[in-house]
């Protein structure tokens, strides 16, 4: 990213249907001292406003012409082609440091395209989408970039009105402000990705964070409630992680067992595809998450535990655990880099202990049997007679980590110039 005194914003929209809105946005962006280049992704009508990157250029970037796109079979195919061209052009602008942020507007069609563009851009570049379906259940989590800002476009489907103008002005201010404040993600130390829930159920983070800090690593902690897993996958896919400690795989279980609290079908795939070393564990797999406020298929209501008004959990059965173990093993087997599975045989979360509501020793055994039967010989399988919140589990994880550092699979850490993190400091009580 090239930091100028004035940031430069890429504005994306259909100039044949949203000319007035795009003109207002360009004016508001420039009024705040930023530069603005408009990309027209319209297909059918004539542009109502002049674009710096016209629709013919977008189509050409997709390897076709606007005429071919306009005469295609349906609007989905047409907008898909424009999304491919827009993503390619936006990524090239970002790679050259020619833009510091992107702002896109639209309904379902424009949002679909804008999500594709945002996914093609690096983490750290400001991304704002103004959409009539922002925060909607129709947007799957795997379509959302980890640092994306969305605003609900009140009154924005057809024509200008004061509510519409208010949202657009805020969006212009948001993207300019974000672009001014954003900095490229440059880490001084190798980065380790760590998945977990809060310390009410998983506590290994309180020991792992100071231990990894002392070893010279920056640790990014991802909250495994759907979007955290998506962010972890994006960081891994972009090659930003030296290692992944994916110790909480409840998002994989949620997907496999039909919960909506998931990270998409490709969770636990990116690090393996990039050859990033991974240590895996079944944190949280004693349960499956559901939205507290909606219908809960397959739930044993007597075991359902309400965490808050957003999410709650139901105990998984031994059959559930075996099913999830097989999915995890299959994805571990596909990895091109080192993989270890550290399996705590005394329980997968604080709720999975003797006397706790989800204690299930039979299920742990079913998980272990399925894992051992399905894992490839190339995967380092380490069952540990310990609970996941025991010190012995952390020791087992660090033992693998240190071995991989010694043999060169993980780059050596860089001593920190900052004060070390105090060992045992509370890291919050969020689940």
- Find all residues with CB under 8 Å of 372, minimum gap 6, and list them: 381, 383
Terminal Cα-to-Cα distance of the chain (whole angstroms): 36
Do 23 and 160 form a contact (C-beta atoms < 8 A)? no
Q: What CA–CA distance (Å, rounded) separates 113 from 62?
A: 13
Do 278 and 272 form a contact (C-beta atoms < 8 A)? yes
Helix 391-406 to helix 205-214 angle, to the nearest 10 degrees? 30
Do 182 and 101 form a contact (C-beta atoms < 8 A)? yes
Q: What CA–CA distance (Å, rounded) separates 54 from 37?
A: 10
Place of tokens 């609290």: 261
Decide: helix, strand or coil at residue 357.
Answer: coil
Specify the CATH number of the domain 8-181: 3.40.50.12020
Place of tokens 């079944």: 282
Residue 5 DSSP code: S
**CB neighbourhood size of 303 (10 A):** 16
Q: What are phi and psi of 320, to 5 degrees?
A: -60, -45
> pLDDT tens per residue, the chain (431 residues)?
444 579 999 999 999 999 999 999 999 999 999 999 999 999 988 888 999 999 999 999 999 999 998 887 678 888 899 999 999 999 999 999 999 999 999 999 999 999 999 999 998 899 999 999 998 888 888 888 888 999 999 887 777 889 999 999 999 999 999 999 987 778 999 999 999 999 989 999 999 999 999 999 999 999 999 889 999 999 999 899 999 999 999 999 999 998 888 888 999 999 999 999 999 999 999 998 877 777 766 666 667 777 778 777 788 999 999 999 999 999 999 999 999 999 999 999 999 998 888 899 999 999 999 999 999 999 999 999 999 999 999 999 999 999 999 999 999 999 876 544 444 444 444 56
Do 128 and 144 form a contact (C-beta atoms < 8 A)? no
**CB neighbourhood size of 50 (10 A):** 12
Domain 8-181 and domain 191-406, same fold? Reply is yes
Residue 73 DSSP code: S
Do 416 and 213 form a contact (C-beta atoms < 8 A)? yes
User: Hey, which residues does 11 pair with through a beta bridge?
Assistant: 38, 103
Question: What pLDDT, on a 0 to 100 scale, did the predictor assign at position 393?
Answer: 98
176 phi-psi bin (left φ>0, alpha ψ -120 to 50, beta other): alpha
Nearest-CA neighbor of 218 among 414, 394, 424, 425?
A: 414
Question: What pLDDT, on a 0 to 100 scale, did the predictor assign at position 421?
Answer: 45
Three-state SS string across 285-352, please?
A: CCEEEEECCCCCCCCCHHHCEECCCCEEEEECCHHHHHHHHHHHHHHHHHCCCCEEEEEECCCCCCCC
> How many whole angstroms from its chain centre is CA 11?
24
Question: What pLDDT, on a 0 to 100 scale, did the predictor assign at position 430?
Answer: 59
Q: Show the beta-strand stretches assigned E in 75-136.
A: 101-106, 126-131
Place of tokens 């279980």: 253
Question: What pLDDT, on a 0 to 100 scale, did the predictor assign at position 136?
Answer: 85
Domain boundaries, the chain: 8-181, 191-406
Place of tokens 């739930």: 299
Nearest-CA neighbor of 83 among 34, 54, 117?
A: 117
- As separate numbers, helices (DSSP H) first and strands (DSSP E) second, the chain gives 13, 14
CATH domain 191-406 topology: Rossmann fold (3.40.50)
In Å, how far are 50, 399, 410 from 215, measured between CA atoms?
A: 55, 13, 12
Nearest-CA neighbor of 264 among 310, 235, 238, 230?
A: 230
pTM, full prediction:
0.83
């Amino acid at each position: 990213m090239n930091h100028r005194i004035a940031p430069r914003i890429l504005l994306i929209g259909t100039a044949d249907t949203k000319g007035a809105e795009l003109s207002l946005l360009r004016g508001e962006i420039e009024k705040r001292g930023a530069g603005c280049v408009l990309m027209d992704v319209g297909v059918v009508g004539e542009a109502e406003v002049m674009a710096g990157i016209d629709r013919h250029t977008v189509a050409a970037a997709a390897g076709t012409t606007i005429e071919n796109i306009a005469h295609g079979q349906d609007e989905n195919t047409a907008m898909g082609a424009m999304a491919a061209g827009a993503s390619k052009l936006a990524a090239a602008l970002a790679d050259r440091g020619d833009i510091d942020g992107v702002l896109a507007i639209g309904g379902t069609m424009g949002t679909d395209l804008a999500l594709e563009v945002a996914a093609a851009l690096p983490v750290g570049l400001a991304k704002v989408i103004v959409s009539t379906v922002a925060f909607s259940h129709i947007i799957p989590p795997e379509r959302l970039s980890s640092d994306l800002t969305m605003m609900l476009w009140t009154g924005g489907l057809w024509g200008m009105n004061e509510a519409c103008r208010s949202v657009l002005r805020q969006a212009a201010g948001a993207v300019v402000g974000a672009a001014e404040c954003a900095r490229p993600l440059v880490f001084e130390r190798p980065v380790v990705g760590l998945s977990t829930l809060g310390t009410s159920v998983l506590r290994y983070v309180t020991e792992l964070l100071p231990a990894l800090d002392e070893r010279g690593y920056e640790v990014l902690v991802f909250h495994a409630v759907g979007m955290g897993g998506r962010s972890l996958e994006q960081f891994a896919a972009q090659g930003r992680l030296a290692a992944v400690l994916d110790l909480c795989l409840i998002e994989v279980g949620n997907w496999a067992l039909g919960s909506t609290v998931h990270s998409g079908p490709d969770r636990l795939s990116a690090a393996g595809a990039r050859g990033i070393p991974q240590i895996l564990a079944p944190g949280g797999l004693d349960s499956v998450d559901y939205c507290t406020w909606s219908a809960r298929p397959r739930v044993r209501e007597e075991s359902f535990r309400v965490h808050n008004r957003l999410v709650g959990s139901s105990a998984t059965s031994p059959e559930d655990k075996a099913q999830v173990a097989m999915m995890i093993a299959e994805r571990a087997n596909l990895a091109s880099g080192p993989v270890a599975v550290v399996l705590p045989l005394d329980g997968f979360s604080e709720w999975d202990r003797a006397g706790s509501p989800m204690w299930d020793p039979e299920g742990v055994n079913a998980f272990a049997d399925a894992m051992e039967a399905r894992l490839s010989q190339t995967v380092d399988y380490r069952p540990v007679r310990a609970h996941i919140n025991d010190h012995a589990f952390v020791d087992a994880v660090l033992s693998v980590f240190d071995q991989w550092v010694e043999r060169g699979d993980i780059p050596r850490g860089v001593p920190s110039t900052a004060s070390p993190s105090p060992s045992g400091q509370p890291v919050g009580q969020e689940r």
